[in-house]
Structure 1
Amino acid sequence: MAPGGWLVFIDATRDTCRGMTSMEFNDGLTGFTDERARTGATFFTREQWLDLLDAAGATDVLCLPAPDSALAEIGQQVLAARFKADRAAVTPAELHARLAERLPAYMIPSDLQVVDAIPLTGNGKVDRNRLAALAGPAAPGAAADGGAAPRDELERALAGLWAEVLHVPSVGRDADFFALGGDSLLVAQLVGRMRRELPQAAAVTWDDLLRMVLNRPSVAALADRLRATRAPGGAEDSPLVELAPRPADAADAPVVVLVHDGTGTVAPYRALVQELAGRLPVAGLVVDDLDSYLAAEPGTLVGDLADRYARVLLEEGYAKVHLVGYCMGGLLVTELADRLAGAGTEVTDVTIISSYRVPYLVEDDLLAEYVFARMMRADTVRLGYPEDETTTRALVEAVTAEHGGRVPHGSLTGHSGDGLGPDAAAALSALRTLAEQPQQERLRAIGSHMSQDEAEFSSLERLTRLYRTVRHSLVTVALHEATPYKGRATLVRQVGEAEVFPGMHRDMGDYWQQVCTGDLRIVDVPGDHFTCVRPPHAQAVAALLGGESQPARSERGLG
């Protein structure tokens, strides 16, 4: 019974000729111990029912009619009792959401059950058999859903390493590493073992191999990429990767194409891929050659990437697609959709998830590191940044107004703070204290305060390279001039306030209504910029992508 729930029932509490002549007794009820057998009585008395309810922990017990009422002669009682009034109702989904706000993903149980108490045996010990019956499917069962067996020596070697790292008996060639229980710590172990034990991976740098695994989290896809790396005079690396094969019952469905964010990976989509796998075909567009990405001209990079991705999709015969872009990927999908539609591809939908064009050019290291720390989900207050985001936003707006849409190096700490409110002095003091530290120390501090989900990047060398990638993406996004998009589009906007940039949620809808000049739908979903694509909120976004239901509220408008 749910906490605070009421049990209401009617029963006879005494033998009465008038009542019993109209009763019918049925045989065949099993699965319980009949307490009446001890006395041989036909019914429990009123007092016995009250004692039983009290022993079961009931409160607010009501029994009608009263003993001295004329109706009591009928021998029928209405009993009502409330149970578990000292508890609050909670669902596994609510527990998962609460844990996701406070714990890294690897510490959150994959299966949660709400029970009244831990089941015990007759001698008061934990009944492990009954506990096991409550649990969901075990990880080894999940491993069996990985499709066909590995096809060659390389795939068998990879599958063997995965099985050892994940502690599962076997891994199919199409199984998703993260769906089988992989996390950032395990992927770091996997990359290290691949470099030591696989000749095909020995010459690949740790960072590049990590990027391959993040972008190609199946044995088959990763093996294909490693073969291409070793092929002499091979063709240009393809940014296209299959994330979930086409199900047999989705023959006519568009391919859901997930476009990378500012890190160049599809890692933020992990939970969405797991939700969509088996329902829709899913592919990803990724950045494998990070050096080329960092060397590219940021002012034209979005357009250049859209040109390349359109060419690849057309060459691979993608005739019907649903384009999805999270964060920086949102800027890419409208450009890509425009090019594909012009070439004859059917773009069924464009979905933009929590995406935003930075309205100013970030040249200041402190602001770039602040954005980077937010993306890595590090606690910016513990890092020493100002506690009041309103003051930070006002400071950035004042600086950009002075410098024509730019935040030059040193401009935040050099501002007087005039007109920024009573908290300006504390905010400026915090920023100036940070500026006195060498950048390496600041980055090292970000690494030590990062979420465990990003633990594979926590070494200073890897953290610095990822910071360079994010900073390059910030400049790229700020310099991007969007092409108006006339097709149908959906903006999935988070309702939470944890944002990469102060005020991001407020500006997001206005920006996309200007870009999407056709039919734009805005749908608000639970979570913040980071958690809206993670469990448990990913389920609502996946349902939206699959056309099954619409989360939260939606509104339509023309840009």
Structure 2
Amino acid sequence: MFINTLPVRLRIDERGVEAALRQTHETLARLLHHEHAPLALAQRCSGVDAQAPLFTSLFNYRHSGLPSAGQPSSDGADEAYEDSFEAVSSLERTNYPLAISVDDFGEAYLLTTHASVGVDVDLVGQMMVEAVRGLVESLEGERSSELCTIEVLPEGVRKQVIEGLNATRNDYLSTKCVHELFEAQAMRAGQAPALAHGNETLTYQEVNVRANRLAHHLIQLGVTPDSRVAICVHRGPDLVIGLLAILKAGGAYVPLDPTYPSDRVAYMLEDSRPVVVLTHAGVGAAVEASLSIGVARYSQSVPVIDLCSSKGGWADCSDRNPRVEGLTVKHLAYVIYTSGSTGRPKGVMVEHQGFTNLAFAQKAAFGIKSSSRVLQFASPSFDASASEIGVTLAAGACLCVAPAEKLMPGEPLLELMQYHSITHVTLPPSALKPCRETALPFAPSTLIVAGEAVSPDDARVWSEEVEMINAYGPTETTVCATTFKLDAPWHGAVPIGRPIANMRVYILNARLQPVPKGVPGEIFVSGDGVARGYLNQPEMTAERFLADPFVAGARMYRTGDLGRWSADGNVEYLGRNDFQVKIRGFRIELGEVEAKLIQHEQVEEAAVLALDYGGDKRLVAYVTGPETLTSEVLRTHAQQMLPHFMVPGAYVRMDRLPLTLNGKLDRKALPMPDSLAYVQREYVAPDGEIETHLASIWSDLLHVTRVGRQDNFFELGGHSLLAVQLVSRVQKVFDVSVPLYELHIAPTLQEMADRIALEQRSGDVDGCLVKIRAEGSEPPLFFVHALGGNVDYAVTLSEWIDASVPVYGLTATGLQPGEVPLRDVPAMAGRYIATMRQVQRSGPYRIIGWSAGGMVAYEMARQLRASGQEVAFVGLIDTLFRSNAIVDEMQMWLPDDETARELAQRERAFLLVMLQHDLGLSKWRVKSLAKLDTVEGIVAKLAGTDDDDEEERQFYQRLNAMQYAFVEAIEVYEPEALESYRGVHLFAASASQRNSPTLGWDILAGDNINVISVQGDHESIVRPPRGPRLGQLISKVLISKQTEQASIQESV
């Protein structure tokens, strides 16, 4: 009861066993002089906070020896004392998490362990025994052996965490490459869908033939096993076919993101030294220039191939599967660059064996079958894309690809997944929140989350909706190392699970020794998926890729992640042990961001943190330097040096960075950013009710205290996911719909408020006018909406139309409350002409329309010419002269009685057709909805019946009415010939020209129509990657001095 306690600090390091014991003995001998000092005094002297425990483990050594037999006590009192008591039971308690008691009986010892509830006290006791045994054996043998190398895990426990939890061996086609698995699928089911893009679908046979021809061409250009081939294209079929072709040729693909800064693209090229570069015209002049610069740094003779050009020379190459001599699964499949702490990205070299194992392992883990439809969501420059593409095509499933704007989390993504009937999608957890904030259903049945930790709240919500799988794995382990399937409903933190087939996971301490369940350590990954290493970085490769001490001849990767084994054998992720973070699924080395900031001539020091703003992680930069280092200067510098996801949102200038007592950067002492940390224009207070309310929304989303009317949403720290939330809040607060793209066109508070005010005004003739680009010296170009009623497609194309041409859009009438849709093409044309003249009073006019919008553009030209106005250009983008397909399909949904002629029934039938085509609902689902008699009933079934859904239901009813009115107008419209006029240009999708090169317009226009063929289908030609090429072709016509020109024919 009155035993004194001495606080002792022991060092477990590389010292020998004997030296460590002597040091401990000397320490105890010195401390015995202070044994009467109270612990409170020791606590005050230690500097440990009074509320924190001074120590958490207690060692109690008790001399419990009894007198030898026959040896009497000094006065015989002991015997009398003992005889007067009967021992019933005893109970020891302790207030410490761990207490070890040793009773010394002279000839033997009794070891007693006490531990907190939840700690395996038996295991602790076994470990103590192992430690003592190891200590004794070392003293008897090699006394100089290091103390820290003594094994404390019992053999059974060690075997369990090394072997039992890693019993993942599973046979697979380990000698085959992923492209060979794809070829087998093309042989087995050649007519099965392989790629879906918009309304275009390519079969396995079609994809295989295209990839084979390009692969043979690459072989002719010198591609051999382990050769690297760079590919810099936008998402789409060209990307997938290009990757397959590179693999078939024996090369390793190196994906380059066209949105990266030119300096980064040039560095990747210089570092990877590809023998061929694949690209297409859609990447833009700036990227093309950076490609040329990067290639020139190491070679003057590397071919750069445009995949959209018929001049590539592979159209006549063999369509048979190439067989590359010497190619094995030990050759490289791809090199993907990740963020590097040195300031330069590092290329991870992944071999075919790991890629093939991934295909088999994830196919089983995710339940992917030939009937599955998988979304390709990740950027091609991130390793998750390898999983999406390789696993899907190796399994014989359909891969659905789409341009970036269609993949924006929230309504765009949900609509896309419905359209394509997606069954499997892999998303970063940060993409889930925008999807929860919309009423649209989540189409996939399987949701894989990866790239960052998933919150318990998201896990609870989504696990009840779909089959949810948490996947974990660094790029260096071929995308995925572990998976965990969540029970529904899930509660609590989400583990990263167990290793996938043929992969092993170790939790090791700082000395690479295994730790038992419940004990934190660093995660190491071994197995078939471990990458070869880092390209051109042998020292970093040796540091991160180590020999596997538990499997002879194998290698393991040091992840830098912390974790522990749970009681049920799953790995719990505990964060990073360095300065690497993940934000919205992107892996970022803070050191790389810091290194780029320091390259600014005025920055002396730099530090970067990832701060959490209500679940939204953002990068904040801290720099030292002169006062001229404003947030605007630093952000501009960062944007020129770093990809968009690595650009800090806030910049804090300091006189000096805080240091610890040891002289190291004290990151915990760095302040939270204030309003000066964001790029802010000269402050002008919000003006009016709309700007005031909007500023409040911005302030709440961006966590800034003050927003001025000239401030830019993205300069204040906004990003794509926050933009989705902003548009959603604007819809709720102001009852208007502001398209997401308009935030990029007009990102200031004043500009957005002006757009909201414009939307709120109904009845004004200019309500249908959208200003896309007002600047320019040439006559403007007016885009007419298609069936959807908006001009989203025009924004994409405008980026590739000469900057001297102003661009405007004309949206449909009938979408806003109180508006009546127009049911007559001449009436539409008349309204749009009146709107157009508010911008341009007289000709020459330039008008263009996509799909059915081309018909309206044509009628506008007819009316303008009839009134004596000059029309310099009329563009028809894939506009069919006659098409009754939708009207024909409506017949099956119309009643058989006389009510079939009623407008309400025709609008209902039209809605059912569009649900199947535009939203991708299954036929059985549409049949189920067809049991409802009215449009209102169908919309309520889809959007919900809560009061909060009323506005959404009304909008969809207006949209359906407007679209049907448009279809009805086109059906009865009889276009008239424009005599002796050669200003009509038909930009026809190659897929649409199979039946008629002129899409039927030769019946009306004869030879007076200029036909420009564009590779792609109806949807893809207006979206990246093909959209930019169409924009360039339109621009080429507009800037030509001769508008009545001969036919431009481009075969791609």
**Pairwise TM-score range, normalised by the shorter structure:** 0.5 to 0.7
Asked whether the equivalents of residues 261 and 328 of structure 1 are also in contact (C-alpha less than 8 Å), the reply is: yes
Aligned equivalents of 2:274 and 2:833: distance in 1?
Answer: 64
Q: Secondary structure at the match of 2:781?
A: strand
* 1:535 maps to amino acid: P
Matched, 1:136 2:622: no
Q: 1:176 to 1:352 in 2, by over 3 A?
A: farther
Asked whether the equivalents of residues 353 and 491 of structure 1 are also in contact (C-alpha less than 8 Å), the reply is: yes
What whole-Å deviation, never above 9, does each CA across 1:64-99 have from its counterpart, x for those lacking one?
xxxxxxxxxxxxxxxxxxx988499x9769999976
Asked whether the equivalents of residues 325 and 352 of structure 1 are also in contact (C-alpha less than 8 Å), the reply is: yes
Aligned equivalents of 2:1049 and 2:956: distance in 1?
Answer: 40
CA drift of 1:190 comes to: 2.8
What whole-Å deviation, never above 9, does each CA across 1:372-425 have from its counterpart, x for those lacking one?
22563x224x2428xxxxxxxxxxxxxxxxxxxxxxxxxxxxxxxxxxxxxxxx
Matched, 1:100 2:401: yes
Matched, 1:314 2:837: yes
Matched with 2:117 is: none
Matched, 1:334 2:858: yes
Aligned equivalents of 2:729 and 2:787: distance in 1?
Answer: 25
Matched with 1:522 is: 1011
Asked whether the equivalents of residues 159 and 171 of structure 1 are also in contact (C-alpha less than 8 Å), the reply is: no
Matched with 1:384 is: 924
* 1:325 maps to amino acid: G
CA drift of 1:139 comes to: 8.9
Matched, 1:2 2:228: yes
Matched, 1:466 2:1008: no
Q: 1:469 to 1:214 in 2, by over 3 A?
A: farther
Q: What does residue range 429-440 of structure 1 map to in structure 2 within 5 Å? A: 435-439=930-934
Asked whether the equivalents of residues 483 and 515 of structure 1 are also in contact (C-alpha less than 8 Å), the reply is: yes
* 1:492 maps to amino acid: F
* 1:309 maps to amino acid: Y
* 1:373 maps to amino acid: L
Q: 1:325 to 1:165 in 2, by over 3 A?
A: farther
Matched with 1:347 is: 871
CA drift of 1:533 comes to: 1.8
CA drift of 1:156 comes to: 5.2
Aligned equivalents of 2:822 and 2:836: distance in 1?
Answer: 23
Aligned equivalents of 1:263 and 1:341: distance in 2?
Answer: 28
List runs of 5+ in structure 2 lacking aligned partners.
1-226, 230-249, 253-272, 276-329, 333-348, 356-378, 390-398, 414-426, 428-474, 477-530, 545-557, 561-579, 581-587, 597-640, 651-677, 894-908, 1039-1046
What whole-Å deviation, never above 9, does each CA across 1:474-498 have from its counterpart, x for those lacking one?
111111111223332222233458x
Q: What does residue range 90-489 of structure 1 map to in structure 2 within 5 Å? A: 100-101=401-402, 104-106=406-408, 122-123=543-544, 124=558, 125=560, 128-129=589-590, 136-138=643-645, 153-154=687-688, 157=692, 160=695, 163=698, 186=723, 189-190=726-727, 192-193=729-730, 196=733, 201=734, 206=735, 209-210=736-737, 218=746, 223-224=753-754, 227=757, 236-246=765-775, 250-251=776-777, 253-276=778-801, 280-287=805-812, 290=815, 295=820, 298=823, 301-317=824-840, 319-343=843-867, 345-356=869-880, 357-359=882-884, 361=887, 364=891, 366=893, 368-373=910-915, 376=918, 378-380=919-921, 382-384=922-924, 435-439=930-934, 442-443=938-939, 459-485=952-978, 486-489=981-984
Q: 1:439 to 1:308 in 2, by over 3 A?
A: closer
Q: 1:535 to 1:434 in 2, by over 3 A?
A: same
Higher helix share: 1
Q: 1:86 to 1:379 in 2, by over 3 A?
A: same
Asked whether the equivalents of residues 258 and 323 of structure 1 are also in contact (C-alpha less than 8 Å), the reply is: yes
Aligned equivalents of 2:996 and 2:687: distance in 1?
Answer: 52
Aligned equivalents of 2:950 and 2:989: distance in 1?
Answer: 26
Asked whether the equivalents of residues 989 and 1013 of structure 2 are also in contact (C-alpha less than 8 Å), the reply is: yes
Q: Which has the higher relative contact order, 1 or 2, with Cα contacts under 8 A spaced 6 or more apart?
A: 1
Matched with 2:504 is: none
Asked whether the equivalents of residues 874 and 984 of structure 2 are also in contact (C-alpha less than 8 Å), the reply is: yes
What whole-Å deviation, never above 9, does each CA across 1:202-222 have from its counterpart, x for those lacking one?
xxxx3xx11688889635665
Q: Give the number of equivalent residue pairs.
A: 401
CA drift of 1:287 comes to: 3.2
Matched with 1:543 is: 1032
CA RMSD of aligned residues (A): 5.6
TM-score (structure 1 length as normaliser): 0.54
What whole-Å deviation, never above 9, does each CA across 1:35-78 have from its counterpart, x for those lacking one?
xxxxxxxxxxxxxxxxxxxxxx769xxxxxxxxxxxxxxxxxxx
CA drift of 1:159 comes to: 6.9
* 1:326 maps to amino acid: W
CA drift of 1:351 comes to: 1.8
Q: 1:468 to 1:513 in 2, by over 3 A?
A: same
Aligned equivalents of 1:471 and 1:244: distance in 2?
Answer: 30
CA drift of 1:312 comes to: 3.2
Q: Secondary structure at the match of 1:484?
A: coil
Asked whether the equivalents of residues 147 and 173 of structure 1 are also in contact (C-alpha less than 8 Å), the reply is: yes
Aligned equivalents of 1:316 and 1:156: distance in 2?
Answer: 26
Aligned equivalents of 1:344 and 1:145: distance in 2?
Answer: 51
CA drift of 1:510 comes to: 3.4
Aligned equivalents of 2:401 and 2:728: distance in 1?
Answer: 26
What whole-Å deviation, never above 9, does each CA across 1:215-263 have from its counterpart, x for those lacking one?
89635665445556788x99644433311121xxx52x33121111233
Aligned equivalents of 1:106 and 1:258: distance in 2?
Answer: 24
CA drift of 1:330 comes to: 0.8
Higher strand share: 2
Asked whether the equivalents of residues 491 and 520 of structure 1 are also in contact (C-alpha less than 8 Å), the reply is: yes
Q: 1:234 to 1:480 in 2, by over 3 A?
A: closer
Matched with 1:14 is: none
Aligned equivalents of 2:836 and 2:1007: distance in 1?
Answer: 24
CA drift of 1:327 comes to: 2.2
Q: 1:460 to 1:225 in 2, by over 3 A?
A: closer
Q: In terms of mean alpha carbon deviation, does 255-264 or 506-515 score higher?
A: 506-515
Matched with 1:490 is: 985
Asked whether the equivalents of residues 215 and 286 of structure 1 are also in contact (C-alpha less than 8 Å), the reply is: no
Q: 1:365 to 1:136 in 2, by over 3 A?
A: farther
Asked whether the equivalents of residues 215 and 241 of structure 1 are also in contact (C-alpha less than 8 Å), the reply is: no
Asked whether the equivalents of residues 493 and 524 of structure 1 are also in contact (C-alpha less than 8 Å), the reply is: yes
Q: Secondary structure at the match of 2:408?
A: helix
Q: 1:548 to 1:490 in 2, by over 3 A?
A: closer
Q: 1:131 to 1:239 in 2, by over 3 A?
A: same
Asked whether the equivalents of residues 988 and 999 of structure 2 are also in contact (C-alpha less than 8 Å), the reply is: no
* 1:2 maps to amino acid: R
* 2:1009 maps to amino acid: L
Q: 1:260 to 1:213 in 2, by over 3 A?
A: same
* 2:854 maps to amino acid: G
Aligned equivalents of 1:168 and 1:521: distance in 2?
Answer: 54
List runs of 5+ in structure 1 lacking aligned partners.
10-56, 60-82, 386-430, 449-455, 498-503
CA drift of 1:465 comes to: 2.5
CA drift of 1:100 comes to: 3.3
Asked whether the equivalents of residues 526 and 532 of structure 1 are also in contact (C-alpha less than 8 Å), the reply is: yes
What whole-Å deviation, never above 9, does each CA across 1:420-462 have from its counterpart, x for those lacking one?
xxxxxxxxxxx876643555665467669xxxxxxx9994443
Asked whether the equivalents of residues 491 and 523 of structure 1 are also in contact (C-alpha less than 8 Å), the reply is: yes
Q: 1:142 to 1:235 in 2, by over 3 A?
A: farther
